[in-house]
Amino acid sequence: MTSSSASATSSAREAEQSVTNRLGLWVFLATEVLFFGGMFVAYVIYRHTYPEAFRAGARLMEFGLGTTNTAVLLVSSFFMALGDRAARAGDRRQLRRCLLCVATLGVVFLGIKAVEYHSKFADHLVPGPDFSGTRGPLEIFMTLYFAMTGLHALHMLFGLGAISWLLWRNAGGRPVPVEPVAMVGLYWHFVDCVWIFLYPLFYLPGR
């Protein structure tokens, strides 16, 4: 085998690997859609059953913080896409900058979420024996709020772990991690998309 045909074979193999990685990650995301999907369907059922409690519950949310957090995630997705492009261009420094921006925005998002959670705990709006609101349907709304945004925040934490891993992989010596950046990028964008639906369901009703 000549060296040029060997390199052609190897680049064909890499392209094939890239397609396989991508399809595999989309399958994983499909399972994630269903993971969150069950909760979204539960939300629809309860909102249909208790529309007034859901409007009252949404009015307890900090609308400004929710809107800010949506913007934070959208900008973080932009930097992830920019980083993906930098990785494919082999631009290690630009990739590092982008990943640091994504990680910072991810931490800002979780920080704002923590402020919101704290005020709910302080106001005794966490379902349980100390619940200060009207018992019943409002508690169902708050349970769904904590379950869905909590599961989303957990995904953000995993995402931040993956971004840290990419920063470590990108730190000199080894080739630019093109495929890992693409895979983590798809996951990060997916988590962003989940929040995009949580925002109108928890912050907008009754306003």
What residue ranges bind another protein (CB under 8 A)?
19, 22-23, 26-27, 29-34, 37-38, 40-41, 44-45, 48-49, 55, 63, 67, 70-71, 74-75, 77-78, 80-82, 84-85, 185-186, 189-190, 192-193, 196-197, 199-201, 204-207
The helix/strand/coil state of 124 is coil
How many residues does the structure list for the chain?
A: 207
| Smallest gap from residue 52 Cβ to another protein (A) | 11
| Smallest gap from residue 99 Cβ to another protein (A) | 15
Q: Is residue 25 within 8 Å of residue 183, measured between CB atoms? A: yes
Closest CA to 149 of 83, 69, 72: 69
Select 126 or 186, whichever has its Cβ closest to another protein: 186
- Dihedral, CA of residue 93, residue 171, residue 185 and residue 67, to nearest 10: -70
Select 55 or 169, whichever has its Cβ closest to another protein: 55
Select 72 or 138, whichever has its Cβ closest to another protein: 72
Q: What is the DSSP letter of 85?
A: H
Q: Is residue 79 within 8 Å of residue 105, measured between CB atoms? A: yes
Select 55 or 131, whichever has its Cβ closest to another protein: 55
Q: Which amino acid is at 118?
A: H
| Smallest gap from residue 147 Cβ to another protein (A) | 17
Widest CA span in the chain:
77
| Smallest gap from residue 93 Cβ to another protein (A) | 14
Q: Is residue 147 within 8 Å of residue 39, measured between CB atoms? A: yes
| Smallest gap from residue 176 Cβ to another protein (A) | 17
CA angle 85, 88, 89 (to 5 degrees): 85
Select 83 or 127, whichever has its Cβ closest to another protein: 83
